[in-house]
Amino acid sequence: MLRHIVALTAGLLASSAIAHAQDAQQFTATLKAHAQVPAQTFLAPPADAPASLNVSGRFATGSRIEALYGALDAKSGLGRPFPGQPLQGFSGIRSLGEDRFLILTDNGFGNKGNSSDAMLMFNIFKIDWEAGRPMIEKTVFLKDPNRVIPFPIVNEHTESRYLTGGDFDPESIQPVGDHYWIGDEFGPFLVEVDGEGVVQQVVKTAPGGTEYKSPDNPTVSVPNPGTPVTGVMTQRSGGYEGMALGSDGATLYPLLEKPVYDEASATFQTIGERPVLQLLEFDTEAGAWSDTIRYYPLEDATHAIGDFNIIEGTRALIIERDNNEGDPRDESVEKPAAFKRIYLVDLERADADGVLEKIAYIDLMDIRDPDGIAPRGTIDGVFNFPFVTIEDVDRVDETTIVVANDNNYPGSVGREAGRADDNEIVLLEVGDFLSAE
C-alpha cells in the first residue's frame, strides 16, 4: 500500500489548496549561449578495462553484432557497433561555477539488455561559450574493485570490475563532500562513489521500510501470468530520473520519472485523478530514508520528468516533457515535440496531500534568439529544443540556467530528420522566471 506522510506546517496546509489550484505562470526564456558535443564523439576505455570494452554497441539491435558498423540505425543511418565508448546521453548536470559543469552520461543504448558493453562514466567539462565548445577536464569511469555491489555485474570476474549499462542506469548525480551520489533507474538504487568512481555503497529504495523495485531490479523475477505483484513497483525506465541536493549539502531528494504502481487499486498512482510522481528524501549522513513523501503532479499521464535540481533554499527546477521529438515547424515531422517545459517549484509549497504547487514555467519550444546565437534551430528569432529526452537543468547564476539534452546516440533525430542529435548545451536568460513568486 502506498503511503504519503508529509511534514507540513498548519499555515502551509491552510493556504496551499488555493495556491495549488492556480495555474503556473509562463515566463520568457532568451538564448544566451550555445555549445555542443558532436554526436560522434568517442572516448578510449581505461588501460585496465577488459579488451571487449574497446568496442561498444554490439547488442544495441537486440542481437550480437561483432563487425564494426555492421548494423545501421533506422533513424540516423549510423552503423553500430562503434570503436571506443560514445560520450553520449547527458542525463544529469550540476553547475560548478566558472563555466565548469559536472555531467553524467546515460547507461548506453536504451535498456539493460542492450548496454552491457557501454561503460558508465561522468565528466567535468569546461565550456568555452564564445566558441561553443565543451572541453573535458576529467573523465571518471565507475567501477567496483572492492566488490561492494550486492549482485553480480557484467564484469564480475575481472579485477577492475568496471560498470556498464547492464548494471545500472545512472540518471542523476550530486556531489556530496568529495564523493558523488548517483540516482539509478534499474533498482531504483542510490549509488555512492568516490572521486575516482569507486563504489562505496549501494542503497536500496525503502522509505518507511517499504522497498521499491523496478522490473529491472536484479532481485526481481518476471512472475507467471496472473501472479499478483507484491510491494511497491516502479515502472521500467521509471526510477530516479532526477535527484536534487538540499541546501544542507547532505539531504538527497530522489524523484521518480513515472508514477508507481499502486497494488491496492491495480493502477498507476494518482492523487485527485492527477498522475503524480513520488519525491523522496534520503539523509546521506545518517544513511537513512525519511518517511516524508512529496508528489510532483504531471500535466499528462504520458509525460515524464527529465531532471530536478534545487536552486536555493527549497526552490527547485524540474523538467517535464512529452515523448515526442522533432520541430513542429517542420511539416515533414509526423509527431513533433509539443511539451518541453521547465517548472519552478518549492518543496515547502504543497497541498494537504503533499502535491507540489507549480509556481511558474518556461517553454523550451519557444526560446527567444533575437541575435541568432544558435547554429541550428532558430527560425524568425525563435529557437527550440525539440528533443525527445531533455534531462539536464541547473541554475548558473541569479538570472541564468543551463539546459542540455540526452541525445540517445545514435537513435534520436529531434533536431534534423536523418541526422543523429548532438549533445546540445545552452544558457538561458530567465531572471524573471527564477524570481517568480
Neighbouring-strand partners of residue 137: none
Is residue 222's pLDDT more than 80?
Answer: no
- pLDDT tens string 331-376: 999 999 999 999 999 999 999 999 999 999 999 999 999 999 999 9
| 406 within 8 A of 105, measured Cβ to Cβ | no
Is residue 215's pLDDT more than 60?
Answer: yes
CB atoms within 10 A of CB 25: 14
- Work out the pLDDT band at 237, boundaries 50, 70, 90: confident
Please report whether residue 235 resides in a domain.
yes
* CB neighbour class for 61 (10 Å; exposed up to 12, middle 13-18, buried from 19): middle
Please report whether residue 1 resides in a domain.
no
Please report whether residue 2 resides in a domain.
no
| 63 within 8 A of 78, measured Cβ to Cβ | no
Please report whether residue 3 resides in a domain.
no
**DSSP strand E in 247-379: where?**
251-256, 261-262, 267-268, 270-271, 274-279, 282-283, 288-289, 294-297, 304-312, 315-321, 340-350, 356-363, 367-368, 378-379
pLDDT confidence of residue 235: 85
Please report whether residue 168 resides in a domain.
yes
Percentage of the chain exceeding pLDDT 70: 93
Please report whether residue 112 resides in a domain.
yes
The b/e string for 374-400 (b: 16+ C-beta within 10 A; e otherwise) is beebbeeeebbbbbbbbbbbbbbeeeb
- Bigger pLDDT: 286 vs 231: 286
pLDDT confidence of residue 226: 66
Mean residue pLDDT of the chain comes to 92
Please report whether residue 67 resides in a domain.
yes
pLDDT confidence of residue 202: 98
Total domain count, the chain: 1
pLDDT confidence of residue 88: 86
> What does the DSSP assignment read for 120-165?
PEEEEEEEETTTTEEEEEEEEE-B-TT--SSS--TTTTSSS-B-BT
| 382 within 8 A of 364, measured Cβ to Cβ | no
User: Domain limits at 50?
Assistant: 10-434
pLDDT confidence of residue 265: 75
pLDDT confidence of residue 53: 97
Closest CA to 93 of 173, 168, 180, 35: 173
Distance CA 361, CA 130 (A): 27
pLDDT confidence of residue 23: 85
Distance CA 396, CA 127 (A): 13
Under DSSP, is residue 337 helix (H, G, I), strand (E, B) or coil? coil
- pLDDT tens string 27-60: 999 999 999 999 999 999 999 999 999 999 999 8
Is residue 16's pLDDT more than 60?
Answer: no
Instruction: Give the residue-averaged pLDDT of 306-326.
Output: 97
- For the record, the C-alpha cell of 28 comes out as 520568457
Is residue 9's pLDDT more than 50?
Answer: no
- pLDDT tens string 87-102: 988 999 999 999 999 9
Is residue 5's pLDDT more than 70?
Answer: no
pLDDT confidence of residue 17: 37
Please report whether residue 277 resides in a domain.
yes
- pLDDT tens string 294-314: 999 999 999 999 999 999 999
Is residue 13's pLDDT more than 60?
Answer: no
pLDDT confidence of residue 230: 63
In the sheet that holds 382-383, the strands lie side by side as: 378-379, 382-383, 367-368, 30-37, 423-429, 400-405, 390-397
pLDDT confidence of residue 4: 41
- pLDDT tens string 55-84: 999 998 888 999 999 999 999 999 999 999
Is residue 151's pLDDT more than 90?
Answer: yes
Instruction: Give the residue-averaged pLDDT of 142-164.
Output: 98
- Work out the pLDDT band at 317, boundaries 50, 70, 90: very high
